[in-house]
Amino acid sequence: MDADRGLVPPPVLDPLIDLANALRARASTAPGADRLARAESLRRHVEEYLLPRAADLDAPLLVVIMGSTGAGKSSLLNALAGGPVSPSGVLRPTTRQPVAIVHPEDAGGRLEQTAQRTNLDVRIDAFGRRGLAIVDAPDFDSAEGTNREAALHLLEVADLVILVTTATRYADQAPWEVVARARARGVPFRAVVNRLPADDAEADAVLEDFRRLLERAGAGGGPNVVPIREGALDPEKDALEADAVAPIRQALDELVESEEGRRAVAERGLRGALRGVPHAVEAIAREIDEEQRAVQALRTSADAAFEERRGALDEELGRGAFLRAEVLRQWQDFVGAGQVARFLADGIGKVVVSVRGLFEKPSPVPATDVREAAFADLVALVVQHADTAAHRTASAWATDRFGALAIAGEESLWRASGGLPDRLTKDLEAWAVGIGTRIRELGGQRKGWAQAASLGVNVVGTSAILAVFVHTGGLTGTEVGITAATAVVNQKLLEAIFGEANVAAFVAQARNELRELLDRAFVDERARFEAALGETGDPSLAHRLRDAARRVAAAAEESPAEADAPATTEEEAADEQAEGPGE
């Protein structure tokens, strides 16, 4: 395309592509059917009209005849075609499938894309106007969803809209929806008022009122309104009389008289549509801003619930009271009532003999059973707190519009994840393996005590794990007893083997690792709610949309010589937006 012939595609194509991608991301995550529909509508407008038209201003003009059911759209198309192309009649809706008449050389390209989208019936007319496709759209107020959807799409891709209404229907809502959208897009617009009364005074009153309403809607009046009297029909052609539609025919003929004139109409429509992009995008971006504020509040409520339960879990772990008494009693009976207890006061040598003796006896050592039971108690406690955090979060989100949409259908979010118990059990087993490894390393560093660490690593490891879980600090009242007694005997055993300082550091490290293990579990449980937000929680999306819209608008206003000029700032774009067309 020559640079001196109007809009240069490259400056606008890139921001349009960026805008389409951002709108696609928005449509995939928009919360609520209304917001999804708004994003999808604009995306289709960008992809199916703006991009193809910007890429080829010389493509045939798409003239779309629109209006209410029974207004006479098909009769107008037949009159413009010179014969019956689209059937008219009393059955409503008459136009069940959009029909287009097109010159043989204009049958492909953009029109083919539109045909695929709307099930358009393309009729080749060797005597048609080259460079012009005229479409009879389905009724804009059709009760059938597919018809209305096709009509809306054709309105979005039109280069010229011809609204057909009647003397009795012009004040209905449907015609003014067409007017509003055509005006917002900046697309050229003409109106036909059909079936005017035979009485001149009555006909003039209708036309005057219609023009007044057009002016109020910001669409102008005057020469763009074509009046047609009741009964101005050509039955043989199933069409309006040729003389009645002469102004419309003349206007279409003028469009195709010169390539430059036709191209100017295409550019005008494109520029008008491009100028409307920031306004349409801003409506979506503001919704995203609103969602971001709501999402931040949702995140805060989720953080509070999980942090509170994580703190409550630490408090219970600090008291060590979560372990079942029978588990502690089993371990105390094993350690406190056997040879280990008798030899604690006699030195480590006797403890070594005692531990060796334990393994030489035929009776099984309960270390593994005790450790597994302790892990089961801890897992149950963690799941309980995670359940509470999840339920509190889901309850809070359910009272919020966006939170309710995020968790809709996600019943699992009302409780801890189903895989949490197995995940915790595996993590605790890995943690226990690490404790066993450090016991061997620590025993190897202390001359004379390696044998005790190696022979009794299972016993010593379980003792160390219980030392992390139960200790005397913070115990009061009924909690003192079996829990405190177990803590004391574990502490003495470990100190006798490794020394007091080593045991303190060892237990502190194991406690920190356990805390990190539980932190990760709670972070992952909290992450399920973040995942439920999807890209609704993406704070960059509104910026991407606004930035692309700003660049689209800037490119639409640039002349070829201005193509490299700096774009307007976001503040300037916002000021222009405030002065732009309404929805």
Residue by residue, what is the 3-state secondary structure of 139-169? CCCCCCHHHHHHHHHHHHHCCEEEEEEECCC
State both tokens at 542: 């509104």
Q: Considering all CA atoms of the chain, what is the largest pairwise distance in Å, rounded to the nearest integer? A: 126
Alpha-carbon gap, residue 321 to 479, rounded angstroms: 7
Q: Report which of 227, 223, 190 is spatially closest to residue 207, judged by C-alpha positions.
A: 227
SS3 269: helix
Cα end-to-end distance, the chain, whole Å: 32
SS3 577: helix
State both tokens at 293: 């504020």
Helices (H), 276-400: 277-319, 325-336, 339-343, 348-360, 367-398
State how far Cα 124 lies from the chain centre. Answer: 42
Return the DSSP state at 57.
Answer: T
Residue 249 parent element (H or E): helix 246-255
β-bridge partners, 102 = 124
Alpha-carbon gap, residue 166 to 180, rounded angstroms: 18
Q: Quick check: 288 and 541 in contact, CB under 8 A? A: yes
Residue 225 parent element (H or E): strand 225-229
C-beta pairs of 488-491 under 8 Å, 24+ apart in sequence: 489/332, 489/335, 489/336, 489/341, 490/335, 490/463, 490/464, 490/466, 491/467
State both tokens at 565: 């000029």
pLDDT the model gives residue 113: 79
pLDDT the model gives residue 222: 57
pLDDT the model gives residue 550: 94
Total count of residues recorded for the chain: 583
Burial class (CB in 10 A: 0-12, 13-18, 19+), 524: middle
- Full pLDDT tens readout for the chain, 583 residues: 343 344 445 589 999 999 999 999 998 888 888 999 999 989 988 998 899 889 888 888 999 999 888 899 989 999 998 777 766 643 444 556 788 898 888 887 777 778 778 888 888 887 788 899 999 998 887 767 788 888 888 888 888 899 999 999 999 988 898 888 888 777 888 999 999 999 999 999 999 999 999 988 887 755 589 999 999 999 888 899 999 999 999 988 888 888 888 888 888 888 888 888 999 999 999 999 998 899 999 999 999 999 999 999 998 888 777 887 777 777 767 665 554 554 454 554 454 444 444 444 444 557 788 889 889 999 999 999 999 999 999 999 999 988 998 899 899 999 999 999 999 999 999 999 998 888 777 766 665 455 454 446 677 788 788 888 876 444 444 444 556 666 666 677 777 677 778 878 888 899 899 999 999 999 999 999 999 987 666 778 999 999 999 999 888 876 333 333 333 334 443 443 333 333 3
Burial class (CB in 10 A: 0-12, 13-18, 19+), 127: exposed
Buried b (16+ CB within 10 A) or exposed e, 31-54: beeebeebbbbbbbbbbbbbbebb
Q: Quick check: 12 and 274 in contact, CB under 8 A? A: yes
pLDDT the model gives residue 284: 95
Number of H helices, E strands in the chain: 23, 9
pLDDT the model gives residue 460: 75
β-bridge partners, 66 = 163
Residue with tokens 């995203």: 288
Alpha-carbon gap, residue 63 to 181, rounded angstroms: 15
β-bridge partners, 9 = none
Sheet (strand 189-196) strand order: 121-124, 99-102, 132-136, 61-67, 160-166, 189-196, 225-229
pTM listed for this prediction: 0.62
SS3 87: coil
The one-letter amino acid code at 118 reads T
pLDDT the model gives residue 473: 46
Alpha-carbon gap, residue 45 to 60, rounded angstroms: 18
Helices (H), 170-218: 173-185, 200-216
Buried b (16+ CB within 10 A) or exposed e, 214-230: beebebebeebbbbbbe
Alpha-carbon gap, residue 404 to 398, rounded angstroms: 4
- Going by DSSP bridges, is the β-strand pair 99-102/132-136 parallel, antiparallel, or unpaired? antiparallel
Alpha-carbon gap, residue 217 to 581, rounded angstroms: 11
pLDDT the model gives residue 91: 40
- Give the Cα-Cα-Cα angle 382, 388, 394 (nearest 5 degrees): 130
Alpha-carbon gap, residue 146 to 150, rounded angstroms: 6
pLDDT the model gives residue 298: 95
Q: Quick check: 468 and 510 in contact, CB under 8 A? A: yes
- Give the Cα-Cα-Cα angle 553, 555, 559 (nearest 5 degrees): 125
Return the DSSP state at 228.
Answer: E
Q: Report which of 191, 161, 164, 177 is spatially closest to residue 62, judged by C-alpha positions.
A: 161
Return the DSSP state at 233.
Answer: E
β-bridge partners, 100 = 122, 135
Crossing angle between the packed helical segments 367-398 and 500-533, to the nearest 10 degrees: 30
Return the DSSP state at 217.
Answer: T
- Give the Cα-Cα-Cα angle 59, 60, 61 (nearest 5 degrees): 115
State both tokens at 103: 């010159």
One-character DSSP codes across 385-412? HHHHHHHHHHHHHHTSHHHHHHHTT-GG
